[in-house]
């Protein structure tokens, strides 16, 4: 398996946020009493007059973000994935997306990678909720370098964005020279036997699975679908025309997230088998993230085994 160095995405976000604050005086940061966790504390220290802590009141924070956007500011509302999307769902839908306001909702702690915090903190429905809302963009970076590059683009583009990060240190996949474009997937591996489409922390898992499959003589193509909405249909269609099977990987419920987005797209233009790997339709549980990934067959070994089985069944 890979021994790539690791870094937390939220650390990269916090560092980049200060740089963006120096470049753009219209940026304001909103917190829900977890500025230390999301590393927005550095922005608060550097720009105290452009930071507002709403306390444990996510609904108020999102309403406040909407108001700030109406006067030309660029608010970044920061909290955990489950609290922003579920607790403040109505505020996001009716006051931000409906009005197409320039609000950036930046969340960490997406998925079961949160581990011991348990199902109340496992954001496994957030992508499904956010991508179902008109005008919303959904961006899920794979590592710290992607986090820094993509948050810059999110801030530069107008309109509502949902930006989702994990909690734990993740392997560094990219170099600083890598080019990122919102709405354009990145092909990390080329292959003709199967296409893996992954988002967020599952991109690193997919890379390890590609290595395992290669030892079995299976050549896997891998797409980092860092933008779930708008989806890169061109890259998907190209892969679908080359490989007989598409496999999606997400640290999210298999209902409504990346797998659903990919299946929906392909069903309309290139019907084919799609294997969705992620959290099944169950409530999760507390535990070591590595053990949870194994329990739900989301670790690299399980992914490779599931892909090999699916390919065998196609023959």
Distance, CA of 275 to CA of 282 (rounded, Å) = 18
Q: Under a CB-based contact definition with an 8 Å cutoff, are residues 138 and 257 in contact?
A: no
Q: Tell me: the pLDDT tens digits for 248-291?
A: 999 999 999 999 999 999 999 999 999 999 999 999 999 999 99
Mean pLDDT, range 137-146, rounded to an integer: 98
Distance, CA of 83 to CA of 61 (rounded, Å) = 11
pLDDT of residue 3: 79
Q: Is 31 helix (H, G, I), strand (E, B) or coil?
A: strand
pLDDT of residue 7: 95
Residue in the structure block whose two tokens are 């507002």: 52
- 257 CB-side CA count, 13 A: 31
pLDDT of residue 2: 60
Q: Tell me: the pLDDT tens digits for 143-198?
A: 999 999 999 999 999 999 999 999 999 999 999 999 999 999 999 999 999 999 99
Please confirm whether the linkage preceding 273 is cis (ω < 30° from 0): no
Residue 125 catalytic? no
pLDDT band (50, 70, 90) for residue 315: confident
Taking alpha carbons only, the member of 36, 98, 31 closest to residue 58 is: 31
Q: Is 41 helix (H, G, I), strand (E, B) or coil?
A: helix
- 70 CB-side CA count, 13 A: 10
Distance, CA of 183 to CA of 225 (rounded, Å) = 8
Please, which residues bridge with residue 29 across strands?
51, 76
CA distances 241 to 119, 183, 218, 264, Å, are 38, 20, 17, 16
What pTM value is reported for the model?
0.96
Given a cut of 60, is residue 1 above it in pLDDT?
A: no
Q: Tell me: the pLDDT tens digits for 22-65?
A: 999 999 999 999 999 999 999 999 999 999 999 999 999 999 99
Residue in the structure block whose two tokens are 């650390």: 11
Q: Tell me: the pLDDT tens digits for 76-115?
A: 999 999 999 999 999 999 999 999 999 999 999 999 998 8
Domains along the chain with CATH numbers: 6-171 (3.40.50.970), 186-314 (3.40.50.920)
Check 22, 58, 90, 313 and give the catalytic one. 58
């Amino acid at each position: 398996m890979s021994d790539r160095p690791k870094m937390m995405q939220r650390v990269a976000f916090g560092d980049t946020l200060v740089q963006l604050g120096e470049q753009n005086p219209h940026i304001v940061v909103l917190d829900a009493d977890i500025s230390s966790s999301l590393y927005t504390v550095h922005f608060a220290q550097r720009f105290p007059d452009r930071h507002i802590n709403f306390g444990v009141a996510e609904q108020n924070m999102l309403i406040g973000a909407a108001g700030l956007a109406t006067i030309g500011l660029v608010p970044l509302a920061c909290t955990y994935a489950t609290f922003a999307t579920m607790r403040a769902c109505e505020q996001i839908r009716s006051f931000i997306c409906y009005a197409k306001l320039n609000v950036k909702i930046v969340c960490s702690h997406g998925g079961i990678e949160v581990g011991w915090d348990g199902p109340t903190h496992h954001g496994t429905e957030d992508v499904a909720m956010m991508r179902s809302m008109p005008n919303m963009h959904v961006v899920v970076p794979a590592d710290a370098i992607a986090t820094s590059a993509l948050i810059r683009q999110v801030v530069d583009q107008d309109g509502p964005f949902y930006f989702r990060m994990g909690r734990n240190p993740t392997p560094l996949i990219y170099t600083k020279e890598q080019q990122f474009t919102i709405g354009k997937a990145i092909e990390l591996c080329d292959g003709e036997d199967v296409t893996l489409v992954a988002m967020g922390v599952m991109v690193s898992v997919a890379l390890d699975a590609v290595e395992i499959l290669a030892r079995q003589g299976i050549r896997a193509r891998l797409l980092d679908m860092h933008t779930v909405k708008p989806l890169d249909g061109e890259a998907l269609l190209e892969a679908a025309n080359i490989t007989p099977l598409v496999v999606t990987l997400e640290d999210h419920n298999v209902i409504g997230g990346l797998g659903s987005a990919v299946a929906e797209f392909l069903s309309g233009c290139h019907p084919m088998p799609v294997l969705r790997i992620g959290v099944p339709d169950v409530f999760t549980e507390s535990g070591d993230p590595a053990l949870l990934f194994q329990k739900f067959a989301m670790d690299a070994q399980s992914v490779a085994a599931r892909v090999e089985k699916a390919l065998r069944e196609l023959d």
